[in-house]
Amino acid sequence: MAGLLSRSLLRAGTSIAPKQASTLLRGSIRAQNLPRRIYAQASLKSYSRNFTTPPWKQQYRTHTYDSGDGNPPVKIQIHEPPSFFKRALHFTGRVLGGIFIVTFGSVIALVIYEPDMIVTTEAVRMAMHPEEGISDDRTLEIEAYIQNHPIVQKFRDDPSLIETRPHLDIPTLLRPNVLTAGVLTGPDRIAVPPLVFTDGEGKKLFAILHVGEQLCGLPGVIHGGLLATLMDETLARCCFPALPNKIAMTANLDINYRAPCKANQFVVIKAETTKVEGRKAWVSGRLESLPLPGAEGDGKLLLEASALMIEPKNIGTLMREVPNKDSMAASPRAAIEGA
């Protein structure tokens, strides 16, 4: 019925006496000379329109008019737009809801596609497969052996040493492009990321890791080229803090193999920076088998190496142009690939 009344009559409804309002209503209806079924159709259209209108927009003020003469009261609903306060409140709710949905969706995406970025439990991160984010029983056994070894406990008790896991600092998306953190990792290879202890000044470094049977050159014997790769990376990482831009490339690497390195064993690499001149650093190191718990002395010497590391002249400018400099510098191979 409200759709058939003039706007002026509806707005004036609150100031018109009930009897006068009833007279005006009946006069308006008779003047339009419309049958009752048209009023019913109009009411049905109004109902369907209101049914599809959002609930917060369906705001009406109901006016009741008594026509007298025993007739039932006439009720008229006048649509009123929501107030500024309600509009502002609904807008704020939608904005906050959108922010919540985007944030929640981002967290779900990280859980699915980048689990390493949100895992905070250090024990879980260290035993995690770098590429697939999973750990089998053998990998967990290797990790537990390293974590509980007396030599590791000895390094942890030394206040001058800092415990790190450099391969875990490399972003997940970059690990497949880093040889020792990507292709060479996994069960029966380098099962867990090397556990590294360094003095933070570029003078000495210790790395403990396990080498599996898929890294062999001959059956049961680790490939000499793999051992050279491990020594190259470890010696370079040892001297990084002593150089101006904390990065260098290998200029020379000399290796003397002293004994075969058997597969499926734990090894320890000991490195020491012997000399630093500007952008140059000389480093020496040893690769030994990790002694059994309770054994006295060092493990068996497997090879000795010395290297000359040189920081490129333009590396400072390059490192300033590359975003996330710290994560790129976590691995010497990653930095060299970027250079």
Going by DSSP bridges, is the β-strand pair 195-198/204-211 parallel, antiparallel, or unpaired? antiparallel
**Cα of 338 vs its chain's centroid, Å:** 22
- Provide the CB-side half-sphere exposure for 216 (13 A, CA): 12
Q: Are 213 and 190 in contact (CB under 8 A)?
A: no
Neighbouring C-beta atoms of residue 127, cutoff 10 Å: 22
Measure Cα distances from 212 to 6, 89, 259, 336 in Å: 89, 63, 17, 26
Q: Catalytic residue numbers?
A: 232
State the Cα angle at 192 between 186 and 194, rounded to 5°: 130
Q: How far is Cα 7 from Cα 19, in angstroms, rounded to an integer?
A: 19
Measure Cα distances from 197 to 31, 200, 212, 269 in Å: 97, 9, 22, 10
Q: Are 240 and 209 in contact (CB under 8 A)?
A: no
If DSSP codes are grouped into helix, strand and coil, which group holds residue 219? coil
Q: To which residue do tokens 């415990």 refer?
A: 163
Q: Are 217 and 224 in contact (CB under 8 A)?
A: yes
